[in-house]
Structure formats: C-alpha cells, structure tokens
C-alpha cells in the first residue's frame, strides 16, 4: 500500500485497544505506518474502550484520547453507514464498523485496522499496519 504525504489516519478500535494494552509491536507498526502524519479515533472507539475498561485505567484512556483527534458521527456519516450495511451485510453485520468506514470516507482518512476483512469497501483506504510483519498478538 502506498501512503501519500497528505494521508491522515483513523485508528480502528482494535488497534487502539492493543496500544492501550501496551503491545509495543502494534504501537511500533502504527508509528512506522503513519510517520509524522496525524491519527485520530472515532467517537465510537471511545465507547468501545470504556465499555471494557477498568476504573484504574481511566487516566490512561483519558491521556490516549486527549492525544488523538476524536471524529464525530454526523448525519451524512450515519446515512452512508446504512448504505454500506445494505451493500456489505453479507460480509460483516457490525454497524460500528460501517460507521467507522463512513467516518473515513467523510473525513478522507485512511483506516488502520487488524480486521481488514471487516472493511471490504472500495471507496476507502484500509491498511493493516502489521501486514508483512511477524507479530505475535497473544496477551501480555
């Protein structure tokens, strides 16, 4: 995948979770992929992190989200996610993934995810930062 200088990135929830779990191989791969570009997260990632989080980790979450841009869900994004759902529901039935993909399309972002199969859309750029790397994702 060729990454242009102008690319901006959205971290999928899976990537964000691994970074918060201090999986350095994931963090290193993301840093290598984005270089000096900007990366943000969807407002939905905030929910996904906090739903499984522990109270003692709240400060870490806060620091993580303060460091990244948070992209909102607007009407156009939600509408387009519904269109993605109709077209790709045979591949993936998770509306959150369609909302994240629509956020990428609306804001012209490249999605970084380990779950590339969840994002079959041809009108967004999707990158697995671990592609071609040998990384063990077992819990630490």
Over residues 106-119, the pLDDT tens digits come to 999 999 999 999 99
How many Å apart are CA 108 and CA 123, to the nearest integer?
A: 10
State how beta strands 39-42 and 9-11 pair: parallel
88-109 pLDDT, tens digit per residue, is 999 988 999 999 999 999 999 9
The residue extents of the domains of the chain are 9-127
Our CA dihedral for 138, 21, 51, 126, rounded to 10 degrees, sits at -80
Residue 11's pLDDT is what? Answer: 94
How many Å apart are CA 46 and CA 43, to the nearest integer?
A: 5
Phi, psi of 71 (to 5 degrees): -95, 130
Residue 56's pLDDT is what? Answer: 82
Residue 140's pLDDT is what? Answer: 43
Residue 10's pLDDT is what? Answer: 96
Contact 11, 42 (CB under 8 A): no
Contact 71, 103 (CB under 8 A): yes
State how beta strands 9-11 and 125-127 pair: unpaired
How many Å apart are CA 122 and CA 128, to the nearest integer?
A: 15
Per CATH, the number for 9-127 is: 3.40.50.1010
pTM, two decimal places: 0.84
Residue 7's pLDDT is what? Answer: 61
Residues of the chain with pLDDT under 70: 1-7, 36, 132-140
Residue 113's pLDDT is what? Answer: 95
């Amino acid at each position: 995948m060729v990454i242009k200088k102008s690319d901006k990135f959205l971290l999928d929830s899976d990537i964000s979770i691994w970074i918060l779990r201090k999986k350095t191989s994931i963090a290193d791969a993301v840093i290598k992929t984005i270089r000096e570009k900007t990366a943000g997260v969807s407002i939905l990632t905030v929910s996904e992190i906090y739903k499984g989080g522990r109270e003692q980790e709240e400060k870490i979450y806060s620091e993580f989200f303060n460091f990244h841009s948070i992209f909102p869900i607007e009407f156009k994004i939600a509408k387009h996610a519904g269109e993605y759902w109709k077209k790709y529901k045979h591949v993936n039935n998770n509306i959150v993934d369609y909302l994240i993909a629509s956020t990428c399309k609306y804001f012209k972002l490249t999605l970084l995810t380990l779950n590339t199969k969840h994002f079959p859309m041809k009108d967004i750029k999707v990158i697995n930062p671990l592609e071609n790397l040998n990384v063990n994702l077992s819990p630490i």
